[in-house]
Chains A and B, each alone.
Chain A
Amino acid sequence: MFVQVNQLQKRFNDHQAIKGITFHIKKGRCTALLGPNGAGKTTTLHMLAGLLSPTKGSISYNGEKDYRKHIGFMPQHPTFFNWMTPVEFLYFAGKLSGVPKQSLIEYVNNSLSFVGLTEVKNRKIGGFSGGMKQRLGLAQAILHQPELLILDEPVSALDPTGRREVLILMEKLKERMTILFSTHVLHDAEQVCDEVLMLKEGEIKWEGSLIDLKKVFSHTAIHIETIEPIKNAFDELIKPEAIHFTTDNNATILEITPSLQTNDLLTTLISRGYTIQRFEVMEDSLEDAYMKVVDI
């Protein structure tokens, strides 16, 4: 097992932020930590990054005690020394993580070009935009080529372009390292992650692969729109309880029995003389699955 978290608890004065969670991170996989605001995502990540000590429970990383040199951490809002340049900061960070002197220049240049900050590498960080700081935050996290990359809300604060860029970078990083990231933007999580960990009020609500999650919670529905009133179209075909009529011409079939083929449904409707305007098979997105898990 790569990273094993056992009965982890964190208490801030009288507030129990994490209520004993147990999970593991698989090597080489990209895990998304999902949950509403205040679920304890940042607290969990900070404990994993060694910034907070757990009140109870344990984190084991290949059995090592101080594993901080193997991880790269990017906080939610990375801030730097404004008087430094990116190159100076990365040198400073690299030395602290014990990167050998001879490879430091190479590492710094590599991570700067990876996040696309080579052109501004000698400008003062003080004048950077939020997106540039986010990218520099990613650069400092991957600088020492860690085994585990922990990203706290890497895309939440970015504009759509910046978000896409970071997601593409994460997609590339997935091949090289294990990634654990938190987010509340589910669409983004869906694009890059393999594993999902859902947290709510300090407890794990669901854990498993993205595929399994969709299998368990997803549920297909068919949306049909016709020109003629649709009221009696499904007689003897589908139970009335499974149909939800929005208007006279609109119907959503919520429950689909395996015996019912969508093609058969379509041909039957046409043969009964209905003019189909819209016929859509809808699959639940991660968002729907998330809402179901979180609302449990």
Chain B
Amino acid sequence: MKNFLTLFQKEMLESKRNGKWIWLPVVMMILGVSQPISTYYMPQIIEKAGNLPEGAKIEFPVPTGAEVLAATLSQYGTIGTLLFVLATMGIISHERQNNVLTLIMARPVSAFQYIASKWSSQVIIALSSLFLSYILTWYYTNLLFSPVRWIDVLTSFLIYSLWIIFILTFTIWIATLLRNTGGIAGVSLTFLAALSLLTGLITKYMKWSPATLRNGATSILMHNQSNDIFLLPIFTTILSSIILLALAVFTFRRLERF
């Protein structure tokens, strides 16, 4: 436990020094806030940019606040996933490549302590960034569109967090398997994209899929489904995250050369 805390503090300090604590929240906030703002100013943007014929008139239905937040979640689902994978891909392979890992593992550190420190620090940074971004977006949405209840925002955030945890855990597992950061990002993104695509295409057979949680978070905002439909994906997501974490510890322990 003590070694876990030491490693965890080191991860936090490293993320502070290399600026991850700055760029990830800032990029996420820009990504989130741009959704309500661009939606609000869409008529003006089109008027200024488009070569519309004289007298053309476009009517935009004003979306509800919930719809704007739901669109933000879908932004998180694409660019957000990319950002989280990119922020996580190098955390183990970097230490393996420059050999500093030999200095750590020559001390009484267990594979579990090491992986757990990486995992928890990444989860905290990612979820903090997501939370800040989501809260700021909610503030602008309330300002520019119809208000959204805070309880809906919080519930959808929690559901969505599980998907983020799943992404990070999967990436960390791949990071213990491969040495090359590009490969780690490639494999992780391909898998996550395939999972999302399959979940969208054959919804009927993919009710258990962690990617369902993304739609789940949206549905909570829009109030169009009862919550207990998500119990299955919540369960499989938590379970698969635990299994992936255990696998990461297992493969890390079996590494031949650090």
- The A-B contact count (CB < 8 A) is 60
Q: Which of A69, A73, A95, A98 contacts B102 (CB 8 A)?
A: A73
Given A92-B6, A96-B6, also A75-B108 (CB < 8 A): no
How many whole Å from B62's CB to the nearest CB in chain A?
Answer: 49
How many whole Å from B30's CB to the nearest CB in chain A?
Answer: 26
A83 touches B18 (CB 8 A): yes
A275 within 8 A of B: no
Interface size on B, residues (CB 8 A): 23
Query: Inside 8 A of B14's CB, which chain A residues have their CB?
Result: 81, 83
Bound-state Cα–Cα, A96 to B107, Å = 6
How many whole Å from B16's CB to the nearest CB in chain A?
Answer: 10
Query: Which residues, 32 to 59 on A, are CB-close (under 8 Å) to B?
Result: 46, 49-52
Bound-state Cα–Cα, A49 to B257, Å = 13
Query: Inside 8 A of A92's CB, which chain B residues have their CB?
Result: 6, 10
Query: Which residues, 1 to 40 on B, are CB-close (under 8 Å) to A?
Result: 2-3, 6-7, 10, 13-14, 17-18
A295 within 8 A of B: no
Given A51-B258, A92-B10, also A78-B103 (CB < 8 A): yes
How many whole Å from A83's CB to the nearest CB in chain B?
Answer: 5
Bound-state Cα–Cα, A49 to B106, Å = 6
Q: Which of B2, B6, B7, B106 contacts A73 (CB 8 A)?
A: B106
Query: Inside 8 A of A69's CB, which chain B residues have their CB?
Result: 107-108
Most buried by A among B6, B98, B103, B104: B103
A21 within 8 A of B: no
Closest to B113 in A: A96
B108 touches A51 (CB 8 A): no
Query: Inside 8 A of A71's CB, which chain B residues have their CB?
Result: 106
Closest to B100 in A: A79
A93 within 8 A of B: yes
What string of 1s and 0s marks CB contacts (under 8 Å) between B225-240 and chain A? 0000000000000000
Q: Which of A46, A75, A83, A98 contacts B103 (CB 8 A)?
A: A75
Q: Which of B13, B100, B104 contacts A96 (CB 8 A)?
A: B104
B107 touches A97 (CB 8 A): yes
Bound-state Cα–Cα, A46 to B106, Å = 9
A66 within 8 A of B: yes
B54 within 8 A of A: no
What string of 1s and 0s marks CB contacts (under 8 Å) between B88-113 and chain A? 00000000001110111111110000
A-B pairs, 6 with minimum CB distance: A73-B106, A96-B107, A95-B6, A83-B17, A68-B108, A69-B108
List residues of chain A with CB under 8 Å of any chain B CB: 12, 46, 49-52, 66, 68-69, 71, 73, 75, 77-81, 83, 88, 92-93, 95-98, 140
List residues of chain B with CB under 8 Å of any chain A CB: 2-3, 6-7, 10, 13-14, 17-18, 98-100, 102-109, 256-258
List 27 interface pairs A-B (beta carbons < 8 Å), by A numbering. Answer: A46-B102, A49-B106, A50-B105, A51-B105, A51-B258, A52-B257, A69-B107, A71-B106, A73-B102, A73-B103, A73-B106, A75-B99, A75-B103, A75-B106, A78-B103, A80-B100, A81-B10, A81-B14, A81-B100, A83-B14, A92-B6, A93-B103, A95-B6, A96-B6, A96-B109, A98-B108, A140-B103
